Every structure is written in C-alpha cells, then in structure tokens.
A and B are shown apart, each in its own frame.
Chain A
C-alpha cells in the first residue's frame, strides 16, 4: 500500500467517535489519507502508515453467538440489555452474570467433566449452522462496514474453555496429568476444528471483517497459570492450526490474554498470533524491545495525569512514544490499557509525528 507523505491538512478533524462508555469524551477523527482499516492492516503487515491506537478497530461480537451473551460481551448494531446477560454458552455451560464486575463466570463446584477423558462422552457440540448468521448479517451490514478493521472475538479460547468444562483446578491439573494430557490435546484439536468452521462462517456472512481475536486468559495478576513448556506442548499446536487457517484466509489473528504473562510471549509467537496487548502488570515496553519484531505488541505508554500535565509536556510524551515504539518494520499498537494519555494534544502529536516518520 502506498504511504503518502504527511500533509498537515490531514489534522483537520472531520468526525468524532463517541466515547466507549457513556460519559467518556469522544475521539477526534482526522482527515486520514487511507481508511482506518487500511491503516490497521498496514500495521499488521509491518508497513505502518500511522501509529494505530483505539480508533482503527471495531469489536464485533454479535448476539446470535451464544458465548457473547453468556459472557456479557455483545457489541453489534443491537445492544443487548444487561438483564439478558449470562446463560448458556454454545456448549450449554451456564454462565452467571455478575453486575458489579461487569462480566460473567461459570459458578464453580459442579464441573461438567471430572476428568478430561470424559469429553467425548459428555460434550454436546454446537450446531453452528443453526445460528442466525443471515439475519445478523442483514442487521449488522452498516456495523461491519464502518471503515474500520472489524474483529469478531472467539470467546473462551482453549484453556478458558477447558476451565468452563472442568473448573480451574481440574483444567490446570489436566494440562500436566499423564492420564489426561492426550485427551486434552485431542479436545483442543477438536475445538480448533470448531473455531475454523466459525471463522469460515464469519467470513462467509461478514466478508468485510479483517481478522479475529481469540480470548484465552493465561495468568493471574501475579504470574502465569502454567509454565511456558506446558503452553508450548498443550495449547500452542492447536492454536497454531487456527492462526494458520485465519492467515490462509488472508486475515489477521490477535490474542487477548489477561494476566502477568510476560514469560509466555514466546508461546504466543510460536502459536502464530500477529498481535497481543497485555495488561498493565506486564512490562509492555520491554516486551516491544525484546519481541516486537516477531509479534506486534500493544505498548502501554508512560502515563501522566492529563489534568496536571501541560500541553507541551503531553506533546513531548507523544514524541517520545514515536521515537521509541514507531519503528518501520517493527510497529506497535498503543495499548488500550494505556489509553488514558490520549488527550487531544497527545493524539494529534502522535498521529502527526508517526505519519511523518512512517512516510519518510
């Protein structure tokens, strides 16, 4: 894709995105030389046009997909009222919506599987053809053609899915128990088969989408749940087949994985993810330096208090970000967990300087 020289006229604000949550300030949209989707894809190709932040992508988690409702994570043209959150996921596992936490979880204590070897006998696999793909495609036509990189999420991934079947301890144990490991591997491969079918269905009914995000939390606030060796052996092979398939369809693959999991980044790379934006307990700046040429890291900028930081200082902070994390061939994503610094001044300076640098 061509990368035209920066023109100061691009800084003209031609639109505004509403805040993500009610009450949050809107985000200005500049007179971009290419669409936001094209800019995001260019970043994925490591030929960035500007520093991508929070405006280039759109979550797409439609309500016909049972997991999105169960996990209270519906983003589509028709908002779902919170009283409808929770309920059964695509495997019939019941999720409880916890309003104060803004999310759902499976009530622990009575897992479907006591042993991973039971999965062939007890799991009822979803009939995804029965979902209302066609109706949703019609309803969401404008939603998925808004000029951004549309990214459906596959909730529950692999380990999370295993937790939903076995509770946390059962799932953790099954990953290293010699009597259960083969069953887990086979289950994960079968999940990949399912996810590949879901990917293909999305592409069929929503051809404008740009990629997929798979949600699979791998750690607590303090540490990974499991060792790098365990992930490499148990999860990576099945994941790799999924990312390979996504790539074979010309799309991109983003991993959403919470927790303090710096140690597991080599597994993300091995699994073929194009990008990962870790939570703030991870040293994302270090990870960019170490792994940014292999996986696009969501970098959390140095934080400041917008209320007490002068515009000049804010612009200087943006310049510092561009200097450190906007390298041709080694781009970054400005991590949403660090988006509090995206004041109008910071955002403008970040856009301008990154455009200049990337179009040199």
Chain B
C-alpha cells in the first residue's frame, strides 16, 4: 500500500494518532502536499458517502474529520499562499430563533473537509448578520442556512429572500435541516437542499465547480 493510500485509509477509519506521522512520511517520500491534501479530501468524500448510506454514523464521521484536520495541520506551512487548494468560502449559520447547531456543525465539518474555508456564524443568526458576513466576504461561494424547528422555517425563508433581494451575487444558497424539503428549498428560492452532511459537501462542490 502506498503512503498516500495509507493516509486515505487513516482518514476513513479515523486514525487520528497516526495521521501526522503518515503525512510527514509521505512528504519525505516526495509526495506533493496538494496530492496528500486531495487524498484526504477524497477520503472524506468516501466518509460522507458512507454516512449518507448509514454505513457509519456521527462519531465515525467526526473522528475522520478530526483526523483530516490533524493531517492538514502538517501540510499548512507548505500550502500557505496556494489558493488553488481551496474551493472557496462558505458562510454557514442556523437561522434566527433556532439554537440548534448539530446539523449545522456536521455540515460545516464536511464542507470544510471537502476543501472550503468555512465561516461559521453560529446559531440564532439574524438575517442582517448573514448579509453583513456576505458583504464582508464578497468572494464567498456558498451561503448555507440551517434550521431544525418547523417554527423557524419562516426565518429561513426571510433570510433567503433578503439575500436574493439584496442584489448580492456570486454565490449559491444551500438550505437544510430536519423540517426542510427540496420543495421548500425551491419555493423559497434556495439553489440547493441536501438531506445530510455528506450530501451537503458533495452538493457544495458541485455548485462551485459546475
């Protein structure tokens, strides 16, 4: 098994204690930092796919993400300034009136693992705060709105509507959460809905590479 394959396997199986050494060994063998990063990103894609299929669950996904993050820490000095390794910025938050962060956090972790720079606005995020963040990051590629409560679906609608009416462009809007459906997402003007964190990462990549 090549060192790159070992790294992929380590990420997929959440071997966080091994990953730093494996990445250093891969670099010592002459592998490019970007190739190692891509291997880890692809491994997280496999993790996301397994999560969507319920072959693995939240803990396994989290530990895989933690493993990748440790691997990325080793690569960071080598990747600094290399804009080609990022898929762009993703602003994410749970909409106003909703304190739930589980789904939002899982999506943030998977989107970050897919190669995005995540700007997490937290929970109970007012529409104005989403707008300010978009203005502060005009190069943002994805704006992701999460909501768990049926009662906060109108807040999600309001946020998407306000963003659309602001005239700000250059990014796609994704929505998700337990009560959200593809039909609702389309009705409120979002670009995409995904049912889980693994699918969200895949969709985010699709949206920015299309």
A interface with B by C-beta (< 8 Å) = 96, 98, 100-101, 105, 107-109, 167-169, 172-173, 175-177, 220-227, 230, 263
Contact B101 A226 (CB under 8 A): no
Partner of B99, one of A105, A173, A221, A223: A105
Measured between C-beta atoms, what is the minimum distance from A255 to chain B in Å? 19
Chain B residue numbers with a CB within 8 Å of A227 are 56-57, 59-60
Given A108-B101, A220-B178, CB of A175 within 8 Å of CB of B149: no
Give 8 new A-B contacts, CB below 8 A, not counting A167-B101, A173-B59, A221-B178.
A176-B59, A224-B54, A224-B57, A225-B59, A226-B59, A227-B57, A230-B59, A263-B54
CA distance A284 to B178 in the complex (A): 20
- With A101-B151, A176-B59 already in contact, the answer to whether A222 and B195 are too (CB < 8 A) is yes
Which 10 A-B residue pairings sit nearest by Cβ, starting from the closest? A100-B151, A176-B59, A168-B102, A108-B101, A172-B59, A172-B58, A221-B178, A173-B62, A226-B57, A223-B54
Cβ proximity bits B96-124 to A, threshold 8 Å, 1 near / 0 not = 01011111011001000000000000110
| A109 engages B122 (CB within 8 Å) | yes
Contact B101 A109 (CB under 8 A): yes
Neighbouring B residues of A177 by C-beta, 8 Å: 63
Contact of A226 among B58, B105, B149, B196 (CB under 8 A): B58
A-B contact pairs, 12 of them (CB 8 A): A96-B99, A107-B99, A108-B101, A172-B59, A173-B62, A176-B59, A220-B103, A223-B196, A226-B57, A226-B58, A226-B59, A227-B56
- Is B129 on the interface with A (CB-CB < 8 A)? no
A230–B57 touching, CB < 8 Å: yes
User: How many angstroms between the C-alpha atoms of A124 and B106 in the bound complex?
Assistant: 30
For B103, list chain A residues within 8 Å (CB).
220
Contacts of B101 in A (CB 8 A): 108-109, 167-168
Q: Pick the residue among A100, A101, A169, A224 that contacts B102 (CB under 8 A).
A: A169
- Verify if B66 is at the interface (C-beta below 8 Å from A): yes
B152 part of interface (Cβ distance < 8 Å): yes
Q: Which residue of chain B lies nearest to A228 when distances are taken between CB atoms in the complex?
A: B57
Closest B residue, CB atoms, query A103: B149
Query: In terms of DSSP, what is the predominant structure of the interface of chain A?
Result: loop
Q: How far is the CA of A222 from the CA of B198 in the complex (A)?
A: 13
User: How many Å from the CB of A284 to the closest CB on chain B?
Assistant: 19
Contact with A along B59-86 (1 / 0, CB 8 A): 1101100100000000000000000000
Query: In angstroms, how far is the closest chain B Cβ from the Cβ of A257?
Result: 15
Interface string of B174-187 (1 = CB under 8 A from A): 00001000000000
Chain A residues with CB under 8 Å of B122's CB are 109
Specify the chain A residue showing the minimal Cβ separation from B196.
Answer: A222
When the two chains form their complex, are residues B59 and A168 in contact, meaning their CB atoms are under 8 A apart? Answer: no
Rounded to whole Å, the gap between the CB of A223 and the closest CB of chain B is 5
Please name all residues of chain B whose beta carbon is closer than 8 Å to the beta carbon of A220 when the two chains form the complex.
102-103, 178
Contact B149 A100, beta carbon cutoff 8 Å: yes
Q: Which residue of A lies closest to B109 (CB)?
A: A169
Instruction: State in angstroms the CA–CA spacing of A317 and B152 once bound together.
Output: 36
Q: CA–CA, A108 to B54, complex, Å?
A: 25
B residues less than 8 Å from A175 (CB atoms): 59
Which residue from B58, B66, B149, B195 sits with its C-beta under 8 Å from A101?
B149
Which residues on the A side are within 8 Å of B105 (C-beta)?
A: 168-169
- B109 neighbours in A (Cβ, 8 Å): 169
> Across the two chains, which residue of chain A brings its CB closest to B60?
A176
- B94's nearest neighbour on chain A, judged by CB, is A108
Q: Specify which of B106, B123, B152 is in contact with A108 (CB 8 Å cutoff).
A: B123
| A100 nearest in chain B by CB position | B151
Q: A263: which B residues are within 8 A, CB to CB?
A: 54
CA distance A225 to B51 in the complex (A): 11
| Nearest-Cβ distance from residue B130 to partner chain A, whole angstroms | 18
Nearest residue, chain B, Cβ from A173: B62
**Distance A223 CA – B50 CA, assembled complex (angstroms):** 13
Q: Give the residue name and chain of the B residue nearest to A176 (CB).
A: B59
| Distance of A177 Cα from B62 Cα, bound (Å) | 10
Contacting residues, chain B, for A172 (C-beta < 8 A): 58-59, 62
**Complex Cα distance A222/B196, Å?**
9
**A173–B106 Cα gap in the complex (Å)?**
12
Chain B residue with Cβ nearest A177:
B63
Q: Which of A109, A169, A220, A225 is the most central at the interface, judged by chain B CB atoms within 10 Å of its CB?
A: A169
B33 to chain A, nearest CB (A): 27
Contact status B99-A98, CB under 8 Å: yes
Complex interface: chain B residues within 8 A of A230 (CB) = 57, 59
In angstroms, Cα B104 to Cα A167, docked, is 13
**Which of chain B's residues have a CB closer than 8 A to the CB of A100?**
97, 149, 151-152
Contact at B99–A176, with CB atoms within 8 Å?
A: no
Whether the Cβ atoms of A169 and B57 lie closer than 8 Å is no
How far, in whole Å, are A135 and B93 apart by their CA atoms in the complex?
46
Interface residues of B in 105-155 (CB under 8 A from A): 105-106, 109, 122-123, 149, 151-152
Residues 153-169 of B contacting A (Cβ, < 8 Å): none
